[in-house]
Structure 1
Amino acid sequence: MNGKPEVISEREAARPSTPGLGWEEFSRELVEFFASIKLAMFLFIALAMTATIGTVVQQGERPEVYIQEYGEEAYRWFVRLGFTDVYHTWWFTGLLGLLCVNSLTCFYKRFPAVWRSMRQDKVNVSLAFIRNMKQRAEIPVAAPQEQVAERMAEILIEKGYRVLAKHEPGEVTLYATKGVMGRVGAHMAHLSATVIVLGGLIGSYYGFQEFGVCLEGQTYHIPRGNFDLKVDKFWIDYYENGAIKSYNSTLTVIDQGVPVTTKTITVNDPLVYKGIWFYQSSYGDAWDRIEVARINVKDKATDKVLKTVDLEWQKETSVDGLDLKVTLTDFVADFAFNSTEKKVFSKTIEHANPAVRLAIKERKTLEATPWIFYHYPDLFEIQGSKYAFELVGYQPKKFTGLQIAKNPGVNIVWVGSTMIVVGITLSSFIYHRRLWAKVIPEPNGVTVHLGGTTHKSQIDFQKEFAKLTQRIKTLDA
């Protein structure tokens, strides 16, 4: 700074220089880490363990299910670790993301070199290069150089090779290659894993899967699609021996108040509208309504049955000769009472403690709405009435269980699946083979120096190479 040369002390001069870790070295180490086999094995093991947890522990169940099976303490840990919804946890997504990075990094690291190797037309090779190959032969042929070169090219083309030739003073070099796509197949299959995982992640975060219990004749709004779905009909087909053959639902899509499409769905034959799939999943007896109930009307004093009537759902029925009108208003399959909200509900979907609620009009003066229990007919008495009511049977109303799902990543998964099938097919049945030949003049003809290589199926290539050698020997005929 002052115009004089800087002086470096002996201590500073003797200090060894330590090269820093530059961006090039850092990026190289990063690529090596993400492309490592060890990382891939760790990710596969971790994903296998996670999938095992997701299989053993039921996913998406209500808290009471886990508490009943595993206990409260275990349930709290399940919630903390995400075991109740494994496939939507941040750490499972992270494992899949790392697997994608690993796969893409391997592709980035290895495929460009393979592609350049496939695209290069290596005609300019030395004689020493051919002599050092594993499959090699020196074949004397008593024929002119041009004739031998042309006939060899024809033979190789017949066998499916693409042939390039280079004429130089004193020699002719031939380069033949086939099965280039066999080298691409393995990398395509490798890349397909990333595509499938990507499609799965998109479907997991932007799709949904729900279960709907639907009754015949009812219309339901599908908020995720902004349209309505009407269940026109549900029925079960049976074999002659009484076994269930199939269960079916006829559905109509109503969009903007207009029926758009109608389809009868069965198992594995869904209805699809606006990317939302409606699968026929199950069926069962509804727990909140029935079609008809059979009631005995008894004289309270003598316990004698006066009338037996069949009550249709929410339809008022007059009982002849008794000045009595009865309506079946409610039903629960497994009776329970919420004392806080003062509400009756079915605590399970099983018909364990069925009960019906009646609206009774007697002598135009008494009105009552009692619950009548199938298993406990004398549980409650209707004050002021001279009748007792007994539930002796009922016909449940069947519901159709629909699996409702949307998966925007399914097309991507199909692309990835196609890639893996094509890649494995190419890799398994097509082999990249390359041959080099130098036709060098000799006093009594030419010597063909032949060499070849393949990246797979060495035994088959040895047989092909031997047959090719024998054919070349006959070119002097």
Structure 2
Amino acid sequence: MTVVEDRPATSDAPPPRRGNPVWALLRNSWRQLTSMRTALILLFLLAVAAVPGSIFPQRGVNRENVAEYFAAHPKLAPQLDRFFAFDVYSSPWFAAIYLLLFASLIGCVLPRLRDHVRALTTVPPKAPQRLDRLPHHDSGPQRPEEPAAAAAEVARLLRRRRWRTRLRETPDGWTIAAEKGYLKETGNLLFHFAMLAVLVGVGFGHWYGWHGNRLLVEGTDQGFCNVITQHDESVLGPWVDASDLPDFCLRMTKFDATYQSTGVPKSFQASVGVSEDGGEYRSRTFTVNDPLRLAGANVYLLGQGYAPVLKFTDRYGAEQTKVVPFLPTDGMLTSEGVVQFPDVNIDPATGKRDPALQMGFEGVFLPTGGTDGSAVSKFPAADNPVLYLAAYRGDLGLDVGTPGSVYALDRQQIADGDLKKISGERPYVLRPGEKWTLDDGSALEFAGIRRFATISIRHDPTQGVMLVGAVLGLAGLMLSLSVHRRRVWFRVTPAGSGSVIEAGGLPRTDYSAFGEEFAALTRHIKEGTP
């Protein structure tokens, strides 16, 4: 008996190499991130993430509204603030979605661009052996022409219809391959590049852009210069300093507004004097849809209202005049406001001011008052201006330095009794030119009315990029939806002393009208062949 010793098998082949798990994880993560499905999901998440920005007030838009929300919801607001509900567009989670979408689009577009360029430089493929198996097929009758001449004429007719053609000679005759519809993928790529341009524009616009709002009253004594301290509210980009703002000043000389009979505005126009870089004032006009374009900033017209001119004469005969904007509360410009005189009733003998003798007036302004005595304006134009006021005397609470509304008195001062109402229960009615004499001999005169405009001063360095991106995106989307990829082949074979033409067609995308196009094309080829 022969004993065979078991020995391990040997092989000269090298052991299989194990891939780097970290590199494999990164590669698979990148493939998943750059897939079209992930890009669509991130685009949807970006839209959802922007929803809180339209629900909750944003610090970058209006800090006063945020403060009011905190006052109205003292328990909920701090919890929402922990998740950046009032700074949505500068929050880390919004930036993460934004950057992931940007990376995903780049990963989607670059490989498709490479494949598209390769497809554009590749000749149409050879004709299949069995054209009758294609979705669209047509066999032509016998022709008296030679196959070479007939094939050349078919290729010429296809090129005239802007088909990319390739003429090939085969052992049994000639074939013509033709393609059309590459603009569909061009439109897709153009749309994606446009989205990238818009994303870049939004990002750089946020970093290098800035905007501010200002309430500008008529009159050369109510000018405005473009510095941070003179903005009612302003937001600077992270990479913008206050010294980077352009140097210009505005003075509104006139504000014109026209209305329909129903009170709906028809047109607004502001006439201003503009001084740039310390130069002389030059007259300019701008409207709602035609902003004032200056070097480094655009000035937009947002709203309008009235500013009563009130002159107060205190008990010692000293006069003060203030132009006070009243805030509109409805479409007829019924407006609420307050005028405060903290520096009045100063004893001329001692030169000291008694805080308990400060004066405040709060009320409603009606551009067109009615005959029924209601505190509601009947029309937005100043046809019958009426001012309803209540007078208060005492400490206005301005000396403590606590910020407060300029359109209402401090309710806490009234509740504490530091500011007392002295005008009775019913408001006092004033019309332009009328005077109201108070109990201590002081008087308030309704001296006149001025118009004011709410303007927005903005600078967006990527505005042009975003405009071009939006236009190109729309053009790319139209190309993507209207153009269809398709291929046709023609085989010209000898038949007796002539030739016969066989055709086949294949749509590369869902294109229901390809059958009609194929039939018209083959009919034209048959009729146009000599």
Q: Deviations over 1:359-413 (max 9, x none)?
A: 6799x868786534442477799xxxx9621336454554321111111121121
Cα distance in 1 for residues equivalent to 2:393 and 2:245? 49
Amino acid at match of 2:114: P
Shift of the 245–140 alpha-carbon distance from structure 1 to 2, 3 Å rule, reads: closer
| TM-score where L is the length of structure 2 | 0.68
Summarize the Cα distance change of 1:240–1:59 in structure 2 as closer, same or farther, 3 Å threshold.
closer
Amino acid at match of 1:328: Q
2:318 alignment counterpart = 326
Q: CA deviation at 1:444?
A: 5.1
In structure 2, relative to structure 1, the CA distance for the partners of 1:72 and 1:447 (3 Å cut) is same
CA 1:37/1:431 → structure 2, altered by over 3 Å: closer, same or farther? Answer: closer
| Secondary structure of 1:459's aligned partner | coil
Q: Which of 412, 426, 430 is residue 483 of structure 2 equivalent to?
A: 430
TM superposition shift of 1:18: 6.0
Q: Does 1:66 align with 2:84?
A: no
The separation in 1 between residues aligned to 2:256 and 2:206, in whole angstroms, is: 33
Shift of 1:452: 2.5
Distance 2:325 2:495 in 1: 101
Q: Show the counterpart of 1:341.
A: none
Measured on the aligned residues, the alpha-carbon RMSD in Å equals 3.9
Alignment partner, residue 57 of structure 1:
56
Shift in Å, 1:41 = 4.0
Q: Which amino acid aligns with 2:245?
A: G
Cα offset, 1:53, TM superposition: 0.9
The 5 Å alignment of 1:219-230 reads 219-222=224-227, 223-230=243-250
CA distance, structure 2, for counterparts of residue 358 and residue 38 of structure 1: 67
Instruction: Tell me, in whole angstroms, the C-alpha distance in 1 between the residues paired with 2:161 and 2:246.
Output: 61
Pair 1:459 & 2:485 matched? no
Report what 1:137 is aligned to.
138
- Give the counterpart of 1:91 among 75, 90, 93: 93
Residue 274 of structure 2 corresponds to: 253
Superposed displacement of residue 351, structure 1: 4.6
Determine which of 425, 433, 444 is the counterpart of 1:391: 444
Which residue number in structure 2 is paired with residue 195 of structure 1? Answer: 197
Partner SS state of residue 95, structure 1: helix
CA distance in 1, matches of 2:142, 2:281: 78
The corresponding residue for 1:213 is 215
Candidates 260, 269, 293, aligned match of 2:311: 293
Q: Does 1:279 align with 2:277?
A: no
Contact 1:172 1:439 in 2 (8 A): yes
| Separation in structure 1 between the aligned mates of residue 505 and residue 270 of structure 2, nearest angstrom | 64
2:206 to 204, 207, 215: 204
Cα distance 1:240–1:25, how it changes in 2: closer, same or farther (>3 A)?
closer
Distance in 2 of aligned mates of 1:476 and 1:365: 114
* Letter aligned with residue 270 of structure 2: S
Cα 1:294/1:37, change in 2 over 3 Å: same
Q: Which 5+ residue runs of structure 2 have no aligned equivalent?
A: 1-7, 228-242, 327-334, 362-389, 395-419, 423-438
Aligned partner of 1:314 in structure 2 is: none
Corresponding letter in the other structure for 1:269: D
Amino acid at match of 2:304: Y
Q: Distance in 2 between matches of 1:352 and 1:420?
A: 47
Partner-residue secondary structure (3-state), 1:184: helix
Looking at CA atoms only, which structure, 1 or 2, has the larger radius of gyration? 1
Q: How does 1:34-433 map to 2 (within 5 A)?
A: 34-60=33-59, 61-62=63-64, 63-69=66-72, 71-122=73-124, 125-128=126-129, 130=131, 132-143=133-144, 144-168=146-170, 170-215=172-217, 216-217=219-220, 218-222=223-227, 223-239=243-259, 241=261, 243=263, 244-259=265-280, 262-285=283-306, 291-293=309-311, 325-328=317-320, 351=336, 353-356=338-341, 371-374=358-361, 375-376=390-391, 388-391=441-444, 393=446, 395=448, 397-433=450-486
**Displacement after TM superposition at 1:256 (Å):** 2.9
SS in 2 for 1:458: coil
Q: Cα distance 1:41–1:73, how it changes in 2: closer, same or farther (>3 A)?
A: farther
Are 1:213 and 1:399, in contact at CA under 8 Å, matched by a contact in 2? yes
- Letter matched to residue 134 of structure 1: P
Alpha-carbon displacement from aligned partner over 1:144-170 (angstroms, at most 9, x marks no partner): 213321332343234332433234554
1:83 is paired with a residue whose SS is coil
Q: Distance in 2 between matches of 1:449 and 1:31?
A: 47
Instruction: Give me the TM-score of the superposition, normalised by structure 1.
Output: 0.74
Partner secondary structure for residue 259 of structure 1: coil
Which segment drifts farther, 82-91 or 142-151? 142-151
Q: Is the 8 A contact 2:358 2:393 kept in 1?
A: no
**Contact kept in structure 2, 1:214 and 1:400, CA below 8 Å:** yes
1:285 Cα shift? 4.5
Deviation at 1:185, TM superposition (A): 0.8
- Matched-pair identity in %: 20
Structure 1 residue 417: deviation in Å?
0.7
2:352, 2:111 → 1: CA distance?
81
Between Structure 1 and Structure 2, the one with more strand by share is: 1
